[in-house]
Structure 1
Amino acid sequence: MDDLASFDLPTLKRSLRRFFRHPWVKAALIALIVMSVSLVLTEYSLPEGAPEIESLSRINRTISVIFAVELTLRAFSAHAKRQFLREYWLDIFSIVPILRPFRIVRVMRLLRTFQTSRWFSLLYRYAQALPAFLRRGATEYFLVFGLLLTTIAFSSAAILVFERGRNPQVNTLADAFWFSLYSVFAGEPIPDVPISIGGRFVSLFVMLMGMVTFAILTGTVSAFVIEQLRAKPMSIEWEEFSDHIIICGWNKKAEIIVREYRAARRNKRLPIVAIAQLEGEPPFSDPTLKHCVYFINDDFTKVSVLEKAGIRRAKTCIILSDKTFGRTDRDADARTILAALTAEKLNRAVYTCAELINREYGSHLDMGHVNDYVVSEEQSGFLLAQAALSPGLLKMFSELMTYERGNQFYVFDIPEEWEGQTFFEFFVHLKKTQNAILIGVHDLDGGFVINPDRYVFKEDDRAIAIARENIEF
């Protein structure tokens, strides 16, 4: 009974959303779509009255019922029903033939070929795992090929329905396929105008879709060429950057920051600007990260350089200790403090985090209202001390401090319904529903409370938890 009481609709909806995001579920849906469209084309390639048609139609109706159940569950678990309808209206349209009134009219079964477009929308999600240079324009390319394949599949079956028996040039599915393919690319019916009224409407549809896909493809290629031209250092529009990250200084730590930011699945199109005085190209141990960073080869303590990097519009500014050109620890800390105070002066809203070598200089950052600072040598010393005191504990820290594997720290807003509730109650709820461990609270004043004995959540509190994936409510 306790398990039933703890099981609620939000939990069920989250479970369904995770289920539909699973790669095997997407692969199964793609396989069913390919099977359904293939059955439709096979059914229309057979002469009317053939005994195999009923068997093929029965199998296809079964597949359509599976899609109907799947779409119903997606609608139930969707955050917003309007968004669901905008995304899946064509898929809903394609399963209409399972209704008995539409089965009588054979031509209505052509609607099932529109499921081809969904095949490409599912494949597009897999494309997000491709390297960045292949992902550029992926949405437009998948849209073009999805439209082409859907057009050719639909028109091949439709031309066969309307023209077979009337037009001697269209007797088989192969004839209808080549008619559709040539007409899409030629922009006119090839080899000749269809005889039937239905066939002529289909040919108009094919020509229209050919023009649409050609326009999209042309625009995508043009945009890609323009993007490449603008990617050159001399043509970067720095004024267009906003809500971006600025990294002052460049070393292996900076590369780790970039890699972790990408691994955290944040907005991958958001630019990262690095400011550093380097001789030649910046070094990268992972060349795939190079396209993520825009470099300014200059002194990051200069006001003009920070303004060029868009500090007034930036969301985060990270300042690393810069010991290049033989600078001492004191010089490096002085530059860090100067850059941090300048960034805060130029933009009070920017989140500034600085790296210091000596903690004694941290008071300067506190007085300048710099959000956070890290004493790098101290932190590594603490980790080594913990490793010596508790052997094996370092592996746990190694997992928690990276987004590339295992569990991570997450900070999120407390839901309104939990305001006034206790830390312990939310701890139990979070573990049951999200498999996450609540460890602390970040209040509005910037203070932290770790593992409190008794704590009641207030408005604007933020929770700190350990979880495998981002926590959703």
Structure 2
Amino acid sequence: MRRSSNWRQSLQQLKQKLNSKLQPKLNNLQGKLNRFFRKPVVDFVLVVLIVFSVGLTLVALSQPNAFPSKGRIETIQQTITAIFALELGLRWFAASSKQRFFRNYWVDIIAVLPLLQVFGIPPVIQLLRLLRALRLFSLIVHYTNMLPLNLKRRTPEYFLIFELLFLTVLFGSMIILGFERGNDSAIESLEEALWYSIYSLFSGEPVISPIRSLGGRIMTVGFMLMHMTLFVVFTGTVSAFMVDKLRNENTLMELDQLSNHTIICGWNRKAEIIVREYKAAGKAKDTPIVVIAFINDDRTIIDPALRPIVRFLDDDFTKVTVLEKAGIRRANTCIILSDKSHGRSEQDADARTILAALTAEKLNPNVYTCAELINREYASHLALGNVNAYVVSQEHSAFLLAQVALNHGLMEVFGELLSYQGGNHFYRVPLKSEWVGRTFLDLFIHLKQVHNAILIAVDQPDGGYCVNPNDYTFQQDDQIILIAQHDIQF
């Protein structure tokens, strides 16, 4: 028993040593294989082999068994299939997740099953090689990143239609030819089977003399069903594409004509509140608000009355080209909201806010930039970039809650002052030259007696604010902050 235990222990230690030596080499090999499979030349070779394999499959299945070169074609096909099997084996070895590998390549695994013909599997299994066409379409879709945004967004739908057409015609032609050839039918060649499949698919009904075999009739019904499916998919895709194209063209034309407008980066419920406040203040009466965000359509606006004053730009607001398309060089104000969509962390959201704010200031130093931050510790970046204003959302909401708790009933006052929906609001008014040299108290009394407005602060030319000063004499270029029921012109 002791010898057996020592032997097992020694074997376990030997396995651990082998693993410690082999595992780094295996990881290194897996890394090299992954880098190899990511090379474009590998995808190009796969595309060539797939096209060649599908072509040979069509030739082999369309010819009678006595065809002289059929054996040579089958040898070439088995060689190509073996290459694909080797490729899949190496991909399986290099895959970090075997489950993900089978989920991504299960169709390709089925397509290499014709290798089993050496074990006496029926020749009809050669049809499975046609499934490699799906791999061909997936490789093409992989290289569509250079397409325009509108077309790229619809790429999966377009290639879904092409895949359905291609596979339906190929499989249908082979099945029709296999059942009808030699059965006293009008279909005796691959060309006739292909034309029959295409005509039946697009017309929705058989176009030549009735099919003789049961399998051919079942396939014909399949053509008719696929005709209805493709018609619905194609019509819906083209309609959606045309609607997007027309809407985006109109939007871009309007964006080119905008000036002195407001840009909102990001979209959420706070953005809708901002748009509603702009509308209530009369700021968006003549000039619409441009919103840059990843949004499928403008139906995300809950209030239908706000839709006419908003123009959506479906893109990333951190890109220079997107900000320029939105007219940042001609804009008056740029509001950047904290974007936590798509599972972004608070740190990532603040980083995007800072990047967009600094980019906007660089493109147009005259634009008034307001940014929303989650953490105050990143505010120094905005200050260094000369960003005009920022709001630390969590911090300022905490201040508001504290004030409401300390001063009961204060929320009604804040609610009226901070919203343009009704009542009194804050206004910023340039100081008239006739008031230069006079005191804060003089203007306070004048505004209250004449305009029923309350003077609360002064914005000085050097950028400093004086809130409710005890003794202040107005200077040139001062601006005043007051509370009133409407904009004051004095």
TM-score range for the pair, normalised by the shorter chain length: 0.5 to 0.7
Structure 1 unaligned blocks of 5 or more: 245-268, 276-283, 371-473
Q: Does 1:27 align with 2:31?
A: no
Larger radius of gyration: 2
Match of 2:457 in 1: none
Q: Secondary structure at the match of 1:130?
A: coil
Match of 2:208 in 1: 191
Contact map agreement 1:272 1:294 (CA 8 A) in 2: no
Aligned-partner residue type, residue 124 of structure 2: V
Whole-angstrom CA distance in 2 between matches of 1:324 and 1:28: 45
How big is each residue's C-alpha offset from its partner over 1:50-76, in whole Å with a ceiling of 9 and x where there is no partner? 232222112111111111111122222
- Superposed, 1:202-351 pairs within 5 Å as 202-228=219-245, 231=248, 232=251, 271-273=315-317, 289-290=321-322, 294=326, 298-300=331-333, 306=335, 310-311=337-338, 313=340, 315=349, 316-318=352-354, 319-320=357-358, 322=361, 339-340=370-371, 343-344=372-373, 347-348=374-375
Of 39, 42, 48, 2:56 maps to 39
Match of 1:129 in 2: 146
Q: Does 1:146 align with 2:163?
A: yes
Deviation at 1:25, TM superposition (A): 0.7
Deviation at 1:4, TM superposition (A): 6.8
Deviation at 1:221, TM superposition (A): 1.9
How big is each residue's C-alpha offset from its partner over 1:7-63, in whole Å with a ceiling of 9 and x where there is no partner? 433332232222112111111111111111111111122123323222211211111
Contact map agreement 2:47 2:136 (CA 8 A) in 1: yes
Whole-angstrom CA distance in 1 between matches of 2:378 and 2:145: 29
For normalisation by structure 1, the TM-score amounts to: 0.55
Aligned-partner residue type, residue 180 of structure 2: E
Deviation at 1:290, TM superposition (A): 4.9
Q: Secondary structure at the match of 1:273?
A: coil
Q: Percent identity among equivalent residues?
A: 35
Q: Does 1:354 align with 2:382?
A: yes
How big is each residue's C-alpha offset from its partner over 1:307-364, in whole Å with a ceiling of 9 and x where there is no partner? xx5446572213237499996xxxx9xx66xx35xx22xx449976437378xx99x9
Contact map agreement 1:239 1:310 (CA 8 A) in 2: yes
Contact map agreement 1:170 1:176 (CA 8 A) in 2: yes
Whole-angstrom CA distance in 1 between matches of 2:245 and 2:378: 31
CA separation of 1:273/1:229 partners in 2, compared to 1, >3 Å: closer, same or farther? farther
Q: Does 1:114 align with 2:131?
A: yes
Contact map agreement 2:117 2:123 (CA 8 A) in 1: no
> Higher relative contact order at CA 8 Å, sep ≥6: structure 1 or structure 2?
1
Q: Secondary structure at the match of 1:158?
A: helix
CA separation of 1:230/1:31 partners in 2, compared to 1, >3 Å: closer, same or farther? same
Match of 1:72 in 2: 89
Contact map agreement 1:273 1:295 (CA 8 A) in 2: no
Deviation at 1:189, TM superposition (A): 2.6
For normalisation by structure 2, the TM-score amounts to: 0.53
How big is each residue's C-alpha offset from its partner over 1:356-400, in whole Å with a ceiling of 9 and x where there is no partner? 378xx99x99x9999xxxxxxxxxxxxxxxxxxxxxxxxxxxxxx
Tell me how large the CA RMSD over aligned residues is: 4.4
Whole-angstrom CA distance in 1 between matches of 2:117 and 2:79: 13
Contact map agreement 1:271 1:292 (CA 8 A) in 2: no
Contact map agreement 1:43 1:56 (CA 8 A) in 2: yes
Whole-angstrom CA distance in 2 between matches of 1:72 and 1:40: 23
Whole-angstrom CA distance in 2 between matches of 1:270 and 1:76: 40
Moved more, 229-238 or 49-58: 229-238
Structure 2 unaligned blocks of 5 or more: 1-17, 256-262, 272-312, 342-348, 396-490
Deviation at 1:159, TM superposition (A): 1.4
Q: Secondary structure at the match of 2:207?
A: coil
How big is each residue's C-alpha offset from its partner over 1:381-429, in whole Å with a ceiling of 9 and x where there is no partner? xxxxxxxxxxxxxxxxxxxxxxxxxxxxxxxxxxxxxxxxxxxxxxxxx
Whole-angstrom CA distance in 1 between matches of 2:187 and 2:264: 55
| Number of matched pairs | 312
Whole-angstrom CA distance in 2 between matches of 1:138 and 1:292: 26
Moved more, 126-135 or 149-158: 126-135
Deviation at 1:86, TM superposition (A): 2.7
